Chains A and B, each alone.
Chain A
Amino acid sequence: MAQMTMSEALKWVADLFEEPLDNINPLTSREEIDAWDSLGTLSLLAGLDENFDIRLPIEQSSAFRTVGDILEVLRQHGQLMNQ
């Protein structure tokens, strides 16, 4: 998959958690996203694996607190354009 822009990455996160895009920004916390529970974490792991070939231990993903933490992983794996 080609590198995403920030807006594309936020849309990917919004779609993953079935959340309106307007509710998602890098500062959005885990607590603000209803679907970011234990199942949401599994969906995130599966999504990162399938879409970006990124494999994370569950301990690392469980430690995420904000959407920005997800974006940082994408950036570290070359999936998010630097801005």
Chain B
Amino acid sequence: MRFILVDKILELIPGKMIRAVKRISGTEDFFADHFPGFPIVPGVLLTEMMAQAAGKCLDAERKSRGKAMLAKIISASFRDWVHPDQDAIIYADIRANQETFATSNCYIEIGSNKVCTAELLFAFLPYEKLVEGYVDEVLESYLAENP
């Protein structure tokens, strides 16, 4: 299972906000078990979607502090089910943005329905810890089209 849970960035202000989309096709492996006869996206994956989106917003600043890494789920609420064949629109507003940490308020909408929310805390991993040549293709694709 690949773990890229953001397909495309729709709007981005580096270090401040991001709006992105994840297409949920229904062919994802986890639906087989979660749950038979009632396929829904697990809350932990919805949280990871929000974390990945917020992380890209922070990484877009290109600061030397490193890559944003989820450190704590301060709070998370899951208000409605997310079913197959839906587009999850992911929003993240960066609340605090410091050298050693950042926090974000995030939510996901399906249509006009807010299905989940989260407050997240991020730490930063020095880029030299990642594999040489690591590239966030989703982020770089957006930045190339929106210089």
CA distance A58 to B100 in the complex (A): 7
Chain A residues with Cβ below 8 Å from B71 are 39, 42
B101 within 8 A of A: yes
Distance in angstroms between the alpha carbons of A43 and B101 in the assembled complex: 9
Instruction: Annotate B84-107 by CB proximity to A: 1 below 8 A, 0 otherwise.
Output: 000000000001101111010000
The 8 A CB mask of A39-65 against B (1 = contact, 0 = none) is 100110110011000010010000000
Whether A45 and B103, one on each chain, are in contact in the complex, defined by CB atoms closer than 8 angstroms, is: no
Interface residues on B, range: 10 to 19
Determine the distance from Cα of A49 to Cα of B100 in the docked complex, in whole angstroms: 12
A46 CB contacts on chain B under 8 angstroms: 96, 101, 103, 121
Inter-chain contact A45/B98, CB cutoff 8 Å: yes
Question: What is the size category of the interface that chain A forms with chain B?
Answer: under 10
Residues from chain A with a CB closer than 8 A to the CB of B101 are 42, 45-46
- Whether the Cβ atoms of A55 and B95 lie closer than 8 Å is no
Judge if B123 is at the interface, Cβ distance under 8 Å. yes
- Name the residue in B71, B72, B101, B103 with the highest tally of chain A Cβ atoms < 10 Å from its Cβ: B101
Q: Which of A42, A49, A50, A55 contacts B123, CB < 8 Å?
A: A42
A49 and B121 CA atoms in complex are apart in Å by 12
CA separation between A58 and B98, bound complex, in Å? Answer: 10
- Give CA–CA (A28, B137) in the complex, Å: 47
Residues of B within 8 A of A58 (CB): 99-100
- Note all chain A residues with C-beta closer than 8 A to B100: 42, 45, 58
Within 8 A of A (CB), among B93-147: 95-96, 98-101, 103, 121, 123
